[in-house]
């Protein structure tokens, strides 16, 4: 999923819950998973396990902009393709993965002291990203795997078989309908399912418009401009992301 979902939608959703006081922090962390460096890329495992690569998808615009470092960052693929659950099970991403981690993070927030709130909100943001991506990235692997290949031969040669690289940003775009090896994928349906499950997890909290925002039926309300994590926030983010 993209910024519209990870930041704008997440911020608006949590703004209508008992977590409203940290809605911005949760959303900033959730979106930061897509562009903050959290690991070391020196130890690459080619098969069977998620591993860090320069991009969780593939940016087809880098050749045009010539700004490789602006469009590619070092990130852990596990945060986009099922989290620890996929790693432990040795399988690809499936819708709903990350639910246990998110439920644990929400529960920890509810019993956290004032000093523990920043870490609790950071854990929610990280787990929320995994949970959201589990719907848009279902069926993909966070490692080199033939299941990630498309039926377009030149993409299989030119594009690394990591995640949804062969399909560009299609899985992440709100409201998009696209083809995966001649099978139609409807993002509206996937995002609607994600929203329903999150609402259930939150015991019905959240605005009734959240489903329309998730499926693109209504525009997501404008939110405060995104601000990158500050030094102390970034240190906490990186430490918890490595757990």
The string of pLDDT tens digits covering residues 170-224 is: 898 888 899 888 888 999 999 999 999 999 998 878 788 898 888 888 889 988 8
What are the start-end ranges of the H helices in 23-110? 23-32, 62-65, 68-71, 83-89, 99-110
3-state helix, strand, coil in the chain (%, to 5): 50, 5, 40
CA neighbor of 165 nearest in space, from 82, 70, 76, 53: 53
- pLDDT for 27 equals 95
Range of lowest pLDDT (48-52, 154-158, 194-198): 48-52
Summarised one tens digit per residue, pLDDT across range 5-34 is 999 999 999 999 989 999 999 999 999 888
How far is the C-alpha of 16 from the C-alpha of 23, rounded, in Å?
9
Give Cα 172 distance to the centre of its chain: 9
Summarised one tens digit per residue, pLDDT across range 69-86 is 444 444 567 778 887 777
How far is the C-alpha of 187 from the C-alpha of 167, rounded, in Å?
13
Q: Are 226 and 10 in contact, with CB atoms under 8 Å apart?
A: no
Helix (H) or strand (E) holding 214: helix 210-215
- pLDDT for 224 equals 87
How far is the C-alpha of 149 from the C-alpha of 157, rounded, in Å?
10
The DSSP 8-state label assigned to residue 41 in this structure reads: S
How far is the C-alpha of 24 from the C-alpha of 122, rounded, in Å?
11
The DSSP 8-state label assigned to residue 242 in this structure reads: T
Q: Model's pTM, two decimal places? A: 0.84
CA neighbor of 143 nearest in space, from 106, 101, 91, 211: 91
CA neighbor of 75 nearest in space, from 98, 41, 42, 44: 41
For residue 163, count other CB atoms closer than 10 A to its CB.
28
Summarised one tens digit per residue, pLDDT across range 87-139 is 667 678 888 888 988 999 999 998 998 889 999 999 999 999 999 999 999 98
């Amino acid at each position: 999923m993209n910024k519209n979902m990870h930041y704008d939608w997440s911020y608006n959703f949590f703004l209508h819950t008992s977590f409203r006081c940290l809605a911005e922090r949760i959303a900033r962390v959730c979106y930061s998973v897509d562009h903050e460096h959290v690991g070391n890329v020196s130890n690459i495992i080619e098969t069977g396990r998620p591993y860090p690569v320069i991009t969780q998808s593939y940016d087809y615009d880098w050749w045009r902009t010539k700004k490789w470092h602006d469009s590619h960052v070092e990130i852990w693929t596990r945060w986009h393709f099922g989290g620890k659950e996929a790693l432990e099970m040795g399988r690809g991403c499936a819708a709903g993965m990350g639910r246990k981690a998110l439920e644990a993070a929400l529960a920890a927030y509810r019993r956290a002291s004032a000093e523990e709130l920043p870490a609790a909100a950071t854990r929610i943001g990280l787990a929320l990203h995994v949970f959201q991506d589990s719907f848009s990235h279902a069926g993909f692997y966070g490692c080199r795997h033939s299941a990630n290949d498309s039926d377009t031969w030149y993409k299989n040669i030119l594009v690394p078989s990591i995640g949804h690289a062969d399909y560009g940003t299609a899985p992440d775009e709100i409201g998009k309908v696209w083809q995966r090896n001649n099978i139609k994928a409807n993002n509206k349906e996937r995002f609607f399912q994600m929203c329903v499950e999150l609402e259930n997890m939150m015991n019905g909290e959240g605005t009734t418009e959240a489903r329309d925002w998730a499926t693109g039926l209504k525009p997501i309300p404008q939110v405060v401009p995104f601000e990158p994590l500050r030094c102390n926030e970034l240190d906490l983010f990186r430490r918890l992301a490595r757990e």
